Structure formats: C-alpha cells, structure tokens
Structure 1
Amino acid sequence: MIEAGAKADFDFTVKAVHNGEEKEINFNELLDKPTIVSVYMKNNTSGCDRQTKDLADESSWFKKHGYNLMAISKDTCGSHKRYAKKQGIDFTLVSDPDYKFAEATDSIVEKKMFGNEYEAPSRSAFVIDTDGTILGTVEKVNTKDHAGELKELVESLK
C-alpha cells in the first residue's frame, strides 16, 4: 500500500455521483481540496453499509475541517444513486469497476470467499492533498467507527 508522503498518479477517468447527478470526470479534478477517500467493496452489504453510514453521519465534521469526503467501490453509478438516497449520503460516490484507484494506491490485495481466491481493493481509507500526495492512510478500516478513526487521523495531521 502506498505510504504517507508519496505522490500517487490519479490521472484517470472515473464515473461519480454527487447530489444525485452522474458525471464522468478525471479523478484529479475531484481533489479540489484535501480529500478523504474511503474504499469499500459493495453497496447494500452489512459491513460496507456501516462504513459509509458512519461517514455520512459525521460528514459535517469533515467539511467543517476543510475536507471533501468520497467513497469508492465497484458499484455502478445507478446503484450509487439509490444507495446515497437510502443511506443519506451527501458526499461523492465513485464507481471504479476497473480498480484504477486501488492500482494508483497499490492497495489491491488477495482475498478469499467461499473457497475462491481473487484480487480486489482492500477496505482502506486515504487522506489525499490536492496535488495527489498521500497525507495519511487507514490500512484496515474499522467499519463500526470509521468516522472516528478518520477524525483521529485528520487531527494527527495538524
């Protein structure tokens, strides 16, 4: 996984949903201020729901402290639109079925499910500056207190 202080290459296009609107955009353009990116696997699954709902409940704290919030998964923008409405999410949800973000942050890991092995992004989070510099990471997200662990990380960066 990419380390704090390293600069990642986010020069790739993604589809994103914000305020119910879908757009195709260069990922760098989403970094218009320091941004927290939370990586999760799939909408409407228990752990991922806890992770994103916890962030949604605390999104005003991050905004007040000058950070954009963003969550990213392989789900489609159509799924993200429904999910944002259902979960009360007021931040950007990015669709990344090709794992471009995970490749840029060297966060693809081997996983097992039902005896099958596969590669996928790790459940992780990144604090990223406007120039793509990684300010901090959470390598293993605590789905029950994701906002809390990110608040601690943000406070430690001051």
Structure 2
Amino acid sequence: MISVGQKVDLSIPVRAAVDGEKWEGLLSQLITRPTVVSVYMRNNTSSCDKQTQQMQVVAPELEKGGIGLIGLSKDTPGSHVKYGCKLELSFPLVSDPEHAFASATDSLVDKKMYGKVFVGPTRSAYLIDADGTVLGIVEKVDSANHGEQLKALVKEI
C-alpha cells in the first residue's frame, strides 16, 4: 500500500456521478484541494451503505474545513447517479471498474467470497492533496464509524 508522503498519479481517466449527473474526465479534475477518497465495494450493500451514509454525515464538516470528499467503487456511473440520489449524497461517486485507483495506491489484494479467490481493492480511505501527495490513510475502514475515522484523518494535517 502507498505510504503517507508518496504521490498518487491523479491522471487516471474516470467516469463519475457528480451533482446527480454522469461525468467523465481525469481524477485530478475532482481532486483540486485536499480530498478524501474513500473506497468501498458496491452500491446498495449493507456495509457499503453504512460507509457512504457516514461519509455524508461528515461531508458538511469536511467542506467547512476545505476538504473535499469522493466515494469510489467499481459500480457504473449510472448506478452511482441512482445511489447518490437515493442516499442524498453531496459528494461525487467515482466509477473504477478496472481498479485503476487501487493499482495507483498499491492496494489490490486477494479476497475470498463463497470459496472463490479474486483480486480487489482494500476498503480504505486516502487524504490526498491536489498535487497527488498522500497526506493520510485509513487502512481499514470501519463502516459504522467511518465518519469518526474521517474526522480523525483530517485532524492529522
């Protein structure tokens, strides 16, 4: 996994849901200030719903502090638009079906589900500056307490 102080390549092409609309561009266009990128697995699943709802709880506080917030999963931009509207999310949801962000942060790991092994991203959160410098990391997201994890993360800078 990438470490604090290292840089993430933000020139990754992404598709996203921004303000309830499908959007396409580079990740760097969404990270224009210190921004938390919180990685979750799938829309409309119990733990991921808790994680994104916790993100929404702290989103206004982060915004007041000048910190951006992005949710990232492998779901499609269309799914993200519906999910964002359903949960009334105020932050962008990035689609990363090829795990480009996880590759850039060196956070792809072997996972097991129903006896099958596959490669996927860790459920982590990264505080990243506009130049790509990693300012902080939550290596293991606790879905039910993710809001508190994010508040602690941004206090570190």
Instruction: Give the TM-score of the pair, scaled to structure 1.
Output: 0.97
Instruction: Tell me whether 1:98 sits opposite 2:92 in the alignment.
Output: no
1:132 aligns with 2:113: no
> Take 1:93 and 1:66, find their aligned partners in 2: how far apart are those partners?
19
Native 8 Å contact 2:58 2:151 kept in 1? no
1 CA distance for matches of 2:88 and 2:24? 22
2:38 equivalent in structure 1 = 38
8 Å Cα contact 2:136-2:156 kept in structure 1: no
Residue 75 of structure 2 corresponds to: 75
Map of 1:114 onto structure 2: 114
Structure 1 runs (4+) deviating above 2 angstroms are none
Please give the per-residue CA displacement for 1:64-109, whole angstroms capped at 9, x wherever unaligned.
Answer: 1101100000000111011001111110000010000000000111
Structure 1: unaligned runs, 5 residues or longer: none
In structure 2, runs of 5+ residues without a counterpart are none
Distance (Å, rounded) in 2 between the aligned partners of 1:82 and 1:27: 21
What SS class does the counterpart of residue 16 from structure 2 fall into? strand
What's 2:123 paired with?
A: 123
Alignment-derived partner of residue 51 in structure 1: 51
Distance 1:145 1:66 in 2: 22
* Root-mean-square deviation (Å): 0.7
* Structure-to-structure mapping, 1:5-24, within 5 angstroms: 5-24=5-24
The count of corresponding residues between Structure 1 and Structure 2 is 157
Please tell me whether the aligned partners of residues 129 and 135 of structure 1 are also in contact (alpha carbons under 8 angstroms): yes
Say which SS state the counterpart of residue 143 (structure 2) adopts.
coil
In structure 1, how many angstroms separate the alpha carbons of the residues matched to 2:60 and 2:28?
23
Conserved? CA contact 2:5–2:135, under 8 Å: yes
* Mapping of residues 133-152 of structure 1, within 5 Å: 133-152=133-152
- For 1:71, the aligned partner's letter is G
What amino acid maps onto 2:82 in structure 1? R
1:11, CA displacement in angstroms? Answer: 1.4
CA-to-aligned-CA distance 1:104-139 (integer Å, 9 cap, x gap): 000111100000000000000000001000000011
Aligned mates of 1:107, 1:71 — CA distance in 2: 16
CA distance, structure 1, for counterparts of residue 86 and residue 149 of structure 2: 24
Secondary structure at the aligned position of 2:130 is classed as coil
What fraction of aligned residue pairs are identical, expressed as a percent? 48
Kindly state the Cα deviation for residue 12 of structure 1 after the two structures are TM-superposed. Answer: 1.6
Counterpart CA distance in 1 for 2:83 and 2:8 is: 28
User: Does structure 2 retain, via aligned residues, the 8 Å contact 1:53–1:88?
Assistant: no
